[in-house]
Amino acid sequence: MKSSDDLFQLIQSMSKSEKRYFKIFASKHVIGEKNAYVVLFDAIASRDTYDEKALVKKLRNEPFIKHLSVRKNYLYNMILEALSAYHAHGSVEAQLNRSLHHAEILYKKSLYKNCDKVLEQVIKTAVKYEYFDYASKALSFKRRMIIERYAVDKGVENKLEDILQQIDLNNQRFMNQQTYGGILMKILVKAKKEGEKIRSMASSKWVFDSLNSEELSNEDGPLSNWARQQYYNSLNLLYLMTSDWEKAYESSRKMLDIFEQNPALIERSPQSYTSLISNSCPAMLAVRKYDEYRKNLHKLKNAPVTSSMEEARRFYRYYNNALILSMNTGAFDEGVKYAPAIKAGLTSYGSGITPLRTMSFYYNLFYVYFGVGDYKNALYWLNKILNEKVWELRQDLMCFSRIVNLILHYELGNDGLLDYAVRSTYLFLQKRERAYQLERIIIDFIQKKAPHITNKTQLIEAFRETRHEIITLREDPYERKALEYFDFIAWIDSKLENKPFGEIVRRDYLERPNIIYHE
């Protein structure tokens, strides 16, 4: 039996059109009496949080209240049935499943000719959209039907042999997709755990080994367009982790071209298409393809969605990449304008925005507020990350949030908090064994240099020394990745030139050797 919380969450996840469809669906199941399930559905749907006692009180005069647990369980299953019917034509995969079921019905009624027509359509559709496992199922069905209905003469034997070859080919393509899908999933898990920027020699070796694996070193390995886009997506993510921007851009263009030259793939999975658009953005920034980046934003904003989950993902991808563009070009005032919509979306989409993505929003909102000099709001968003208990969600953001927290308190003049923040940050990084040289440089400036500065000349000299130390890090590919979280050089230049941070970023963004980006 499903818990009340499961039922409440299911109802809350439904769109307005899904709720409307459910009521029509439910009304067909109860004729000539008040529909208890619609009454119960409305009572639960009207609440912001689930409260069993309040629900019982509200429904105390309803006859079904004595069997509330049974009714709730039945309602849960009825909703799933309604949603299944509602989305029956919502995806190619659902249509293929439905058609195979229809073929089974026709077969059992001995309507073999009609059954064969349905199976042929399944095969045609499955191959078009590259659902090769469904093509194999339909072909296996045809093989079974031929064996049962016909004597095996030479003609039938040849037909069976042809079907077997088609089954083998489709199985091979399906398994090939599974192989590249598995590789992509491993890379995604690694990136989610460590952040997009590798922080250790072990991680660096893992990326190197992955790039040189048999599957990813052979461009001819993928046997279908779907596997091919998985192949290039895997390469793109690995190049992003190593900040090899030219190769990341090249692979991102290829994976997008595959989708845009094969509209059936977009129809198969609009969500995968928007994901690839988003994944191509960082490399476009790095190689200064700003017009392409803005076109990507337009594509994301107007991408079709077929579910509330896809709508939440589109919301994240559009606004997060829009924030990142403003962060890199210095248009921080534009980024701040997105804040109300993002804040509202985080509330309305709820669990539709994953904790990982929520943390990215927090960091990027901190950044744009910092960019306009609104340190109070910058601290508000940064504290949301620092107060996160499950630090493993984004180890990279947790580490750099602590570093920029030192800079933020320096700007706020919170001298009393700085000493504690420095010690806390130092212990955190030491415990996690995740220190970049950049992190040490910033801590040294805050802890060792700043407290002993007594005049402007000393302050300028300290900033110049720190700037020189950071500049030298650009020569180290590993250390250079740390500069992709915050423009430390622009911040120091703003102090040396006595100009706003945002003004320096706007002035220098076309010449900046690195970008500020994280997914």
Q: Tell me how far apart the alpha carbons of residues 372 and 332 are, in angstroms, rounded to a whole number.
A: 6
- Residue 417 has, within 13 A of its CA and on its CB side, a CA count of 11
- Stronger pLDDT, 516 or 180, i.e. the higher one: 180
Using alpha carbons only, give the angle 467, 469, 474 rounded to the nearest 5 degrees: 95
Per-residue pLDDT reduced to its tens digit, 261-276: 999 999 899 889 999 9
Residues 362/385, Cβ–Cβ less than 8 Å: yes
pLDDT above 80: residue 436: no
Mean model confidence pLDDT for the chain:
86
Contacts of 337 by beta carbon, 8 Å cutoff, 6+ apart: none
Q: What is the pLDDT of residue 197?
A: 55
Total Cβ atoms within 10 A of residue 319: 23
pLDDT at 30: 62
Calpha distance 231→222 (Å, rounded):
7
Of the two residues 119 and 457, the one the predictor is more confident about is 119
pLDDT tens column, 303-333: 888 778 888 999 999 999 999 999 999 999 9
Region 74-81: mean pLDDT is 90
> What was the pLDDT predicted at 185?
94
Measure CA of the first residue to CA of the last residue in the chain; give whole Å: 39
Q: Which domain holds residue 77?
A: 4-86
Task: Return all residues near 368 (Cβ < 8 A) that are at least 6 apart.
Answer: 323, 326, 327, 332, 335, 336, 338, 339
pTM: 0.78
Q: Count CA atoms closer than 13 A to 258's CA, side-chain side.
A: 22
Of 134-138, 203-207, 257-261, 292-296, the poorest mean pLDDT is in 203-207
Q: What average pLDDT score do residues 462-468 get?
A: 87
Question: Which runs of consecutive H residues, i.e. helices, occur in 150-224?
Answer: 154-194, 201-211
Q: How far apart are CA 421 and CA 427, in angstroms?
A: 10
Residue 31 resides in a domain? yes
User: What is the 3 state secondary structure string of 334-402?
Assistant: HHHHCHHHHHHHHHHHHHHCCHHHHHHHHHHHHHHHHHCCCHHHHHHHHHHHHCCCCHHHHHHHHHHHH
Within 8 A by CB and 6+ apart from 516, the residues are 324, 327, 328, 367, 484, 485, 486, 487
174 domain-assigned: no
C-alpha to C-alpha distance for 198 and 417, rounded to whole angstroms: 30
Residue 67 has a pLDDT of: 81
The answer to the question of residue 39 being in a domain is: yes
- pLDDT recorded at residue 149: 80
Residue 22 lies in a domain: yes
151-187 burial code (b ≥16 CB/10 A, e <16): eeeeeeeebbeeeeebbebbbebbebbebbeebbeeb
Quick one: tokens of 63?
């006859």
The two structure tokens encoding residue 21: 């469809």
Q: Residue 302 carries which DSSP code?
A: T
Give the CA radius of gyration of the chain: 29
Cα–Cα distances in Å, from 167 out to 100, 139, 145, 172, 227? Answer: 16, 6, 15, 8, 18
Say which residue the tokens 């240099």 belong to: 449
pLDDT of residue 1: 42
CB 284 within 8 A of CB 292: yes
Element (H, E) at 72: helix 68-86
CA–CA dist 368, 365 (Å, integer): 5
From residue 288, how far is each of 343, 372, 414, 490 by CA, in Å? Answer: 29, 23, 38, 18
- Burial of residue 33 (CB within 10 Å: 0-12, 13-18, 19+) is exposed
310: DSSP letter: H
Question: Helical H runs in 263-338?
Answer: 263-268, 270-286, 290-301, 308-329, 332-337
Residue 483 included in any domain = no
What is the number of structural domains in the chain? 1
Asked, for residue 79, whether it belongs to a domain, the answer is: yes
* pLDDT > 90: percent of the chain: 43
276: Cβ–Cβ under 8 A, 6 or more apart, which residues? Answer: 229, 233, 252, 255, 256, 259
At residue 453, the 3 state secondary structure works out as: coil
Tokens of 75: 């309602």
Q: Does residue 26 sit within a domain?
A: yes
Quick: pLDDT tens for 248-301. 999 999 999 999 999 999 989 988 999 999 989 989 988 989 999 999 999 999
For residue 168, give Cα distances in angstroms to 59, 136, 225.
58, 8, 18
Residue 503 near residue 330 (C-beta atoms within 8 A): yes
